[in-house]
A and B are shown apart, each in its own frame.
Chain A
Amino acid sequence: MKNEELSLKDLYFKFRDPETIKALAKEIKKEAKKLKEPMRVMEICGGHTHTIMKYGIKQLLPENIVFIHGPGCPVCVMPKERIDHAITLANQENIILATLGDMIRVPGSKSSLAKERAKGADIRPLHSTLDVLQIAKDNPDKKVVFFAIGFETTTPMTAALMKRAFSEGIKNIYYHINHVLVPPPMRAIMDGGEAKINAFIGPSHVSVIIGAKSYEFLVNDYKTPVVVAGFEPVDVMESILMLVRQKIKNEPKVEIQYKRATTYEGNILAQKMIDEFMEVRDTFRWRGLGDIPKSALKLKDEYAEFDAEKIYADVLPDKPIDDHKLCICGKILKGLANPTDCPVFATACTPSSPLGSCMVSDEGACNAYYRYGR
């Protein structure tokens, strides 16, 4: 790559600069002495959990700043019965099941997509949602079910897929929508109160879509500061400093540290595209957090003929299935426990044979602790 061109490296290099990180650590330590009570900060997003563990950020902070890991890991919050939906669908006659990365490994009640694939089910892990178009074109005689997961980050891609499929006249793609929303579980966690959270690191990419305005309720209803942070170590450190300063002044507000990508209003075009195809469900069952009203999306009724959840309603299980009795994923997702509190962590439960979903995904807290430090 030529020197004068902006290279990919320029996009993150400065955000991992050792001197900047050390300077921020020093400043946070100094300021944190003024905190009247420990700052219990929840990073909602699993990407941030990953950053915090991978870059050893916990080790750089004083004892009165405590991270509580949030539920923002798309596969972690999927209840087992919905994983079973994917497995059931993959085993229907004449179906190709397409889904994103990590979902392949998550254990349902009896199996996982990876195991079903080994048994012969046609299951395709995707790199990009739009790859579904090609799979559908290459297999015109098959029904391609896109098992859509993820928070607001991945939802616009599902909407874009639908738009493209319809405009190209592709009729053999069906959708099983599991898109979940970030703000409702934040409210549920605050209403529960047990986790005693008094500051939030707002998600990066989710906020790019929904905008920082979506977190105002935390300031208005719970007097809790929120800083929308980027995914790099300098981003997280700077956001911690911003939160500490807000706490000291006792003036909670929503701030954006991740200014290079996030605005207050968010990506209006993406929001509109989502609204075109999807609407909020009355309720959705979250792993660990239980039923949360208006916390997920579904296809609008006018697209019912492409809605795999409706078409296969007769065979898809809906009975809640308990987690493994030793697994504490639920408590971790509520911010009530750390992975190391779990009796089976790194013994009976490892990334190769996970008992709970938090160990499966790169964004799960247990996986991050296992990989980077215990």
Chain B
Amino acid sequence: MKITLAYGGGGEETQKLIKDLFYKNFSNEILESAEDAAVLELKGKTAYTTDSFTISPIFFNGGNIGKLSIAGTCNDLAMMGAKPKYLSVGFMIEEGFEFSDLEKIVKSMANELKKINAKIVCGDTKVVPAGSVDKIFINTSGIGEIKQDNISAHNLNKGDAILVSRDIGRHGTVVMAHRYGVESDIETDCKLLWDEVKALIDAGINIKALRDATRGGISAVLNEWSEASNVGIEIEEDKIPISDEVIGLCEIFGFEPMDLANEGTFILAVEDKEKEKALEILKKFNKNASIIGKVTEGEKVVLKSPWGSKRYIELPKGELLPRIC
């Protein structure tokens, strides 16, 4: 069965889509009250974010655009120390999209929400003529309750430690392998990160800065932090965890693992004295977590090689293009 323009018309078919698919899977009282807007009760400081998701392919090793749209927005909240509570969702669907694919996407969204007890409380669906969007676009916004305050890219001081939560570059590699038709078993890192953040907060770690390394990879996060806090950052190359598959595909295509997107990997800055404790917590979630460097004086992000030379890590620029030779 294919989704036709009628499903976006606001009439009977739209109702069917809403009731049989969205209410059934995203089931909660606020959503199903079906008013013009969701009514929420919030306590204390609140974080609020939005993100739109377009990805080719929409189904990939270890996830799909639905899982991504929940993890992406919830992770942005988690990175501010906020527990994801309420989300909105907007679907833009190209006419002719398979109903069964939409169902798969919605089910995996529901599955992610269940993991952290977050709810979709309002939504919107548009079906547009073929060619107007590429298969399906999803926007999600999210609201979260702040559990730890004052996490900011501006907080870094000389001597702070920099950690990464797991091996880097997986999501970008999966997408790249698919686009260039390379067969690979590698799975995306796409994952909700609230549990990790909660564990750090519960252990009393003073999280100074936290950011998930999505587009632009860890290169982008480190450069953003260096600029925001007006500090230098020194990274030890041999401490950065990278899987063989990611290195291998990067070798083939001429990409830099540090520039590749992640969807369930974050960079954390803590005071030096808390780094071992923080690492121990992160390792419970992923054994590849690692202390990769420290904040220094200066204004650049510098990579130290195991043989003693240094170079800059720059913000990735322009579109990623394969090398010529």
Contact = CB atoms under 8 A, between A and B. Distances in A.
Interface residues of A, number: 47
Interface of B: 180, 238, 244, 247-248, 251-254, 305-312, 314, 317-319, 321-325
A153 B325 contact: yes
Contacts of B252: 8
Given A7-B244, A362-B254, A154 B324 contact: yes
A54 B308 contact: no
Given A150-B325, A352-B317, A8 B251 contact: yes
A205 B325 CA distance: 8
Given A8-B244, A8-B251, A127 B322 contact: yes
A204 to B, nearest CB: 9
Contacts, number: 92
13 contacts: A9-B247, A22-B307, A55-B309, A56-B311, A100-B324, A101-B321, A101-B322, A103-B324, A127-B180, A127-B253, A151-B325, A154-B325, A371-B311
Nearest to B323: A362
- Among all A-B residue pairs, the 9 with the closest Cβ atoms: A56-B309, A18-B306, A8-B248, A372-B311, A101-B321, A153-B325, A21-B307, A59-B309, A18-B307
A32 interface: no
B167 to A, nearest CB: 14
Contacts of A185: none
A337 interface: no
A247 interface: no
A362 B253 CA distance: 13
Interface of chain B: mostly helix, strand, loop or mixed: loop
Interface string A87-106: 00000000000001111110
B186 to A, nearest CB: 11
A55 B324 contact: no
Contacts of A362: 254, 323
A153 B247 CA distance: 23
A47 B325 contact: yes
A47 B309 CA distance: 19
B312 A55 contact: no
Contact of B318 (A8, A21, A59, A105): A105
Interface string A31-57: 000000000000000010000011111
A47 B171 CA distance: 27
Contacts of B319: 104, 114
B323 A102 contact: yes
The winner among B247, B308, B310, B323 for most chain A CB atoms within 10 A is B323
A81 interface: no
Nearest to B320: A101
Given A12-B251, A104-B319, 5 more contacts: A9-B248, A105-B318, A362-B323, A363-B324, A371-B311
Nearest to A233: B307
A372 B312 contact: yes
A205 B180 CA distance: 22
A154 B318 CA distance: 24
Contacts of A150: 324-325
A373 interface: yes
A60 B307 contact: yes
B307 A54 contact: no
Contacts of B311: 53-56, 371-373
Contacts of A269: none
A373 B310 contact: yes
A74 interface: yes
Contacts of A9: 244, 247-248
